[in-house]
Amino acid sequence: MEIIKLREDYIKLGQALKAAGLVETGVDAKYAIEDGLVSVNGETAYQRGKKLVDGDVVAYQGQTIKIKK
C-alpha cells in the first residue's frame, strides 16, 4: 500500500494517481478514471478532480493508495 502525505487539506484524484506512480501522465489518469477503473473508498470514481482527504483509500489495478494528513 502506497501512502501519500498531504501538504494541503486535500489532493485531487488525478494528482494522487500520478504522485503514487500508478499512471505516467494526467491524460493516463483521466482515461483510467473515465473508464471506471479507479475506486475511492470502495466506490467507483469518475471525477479526476475529486478531492481526497485524510483517510481516503484509492484502488487502481490491484494497487492501493492511502491518503494521510
- Measured CA to CA, the distance from residue 54 to residue 32 in angstroms comes to 22
Structure confidence at residue 31 (pLDDT): 96
Grid coordinates representing 69 are: 494528513
- Cβ contacts of 69 within 8 Å, gap of 6 or more: 5, 6, 53, 54
Mean pLDDT of 6-10: 95
Beta 63-68 vs 2-5: how paired, if at all?
Answer: parallel
Q: Are 20 and 63 in contact (CB under 8 A)?
A: yes
Q: What is the pLDDT of residues 10-68, one digit of tens each?
A: 999 999 999 999 999 999 999 999 999 999 999 999 999 999 999 999 999 999 999 99
Grid coordinates representing 62 are: 490491484
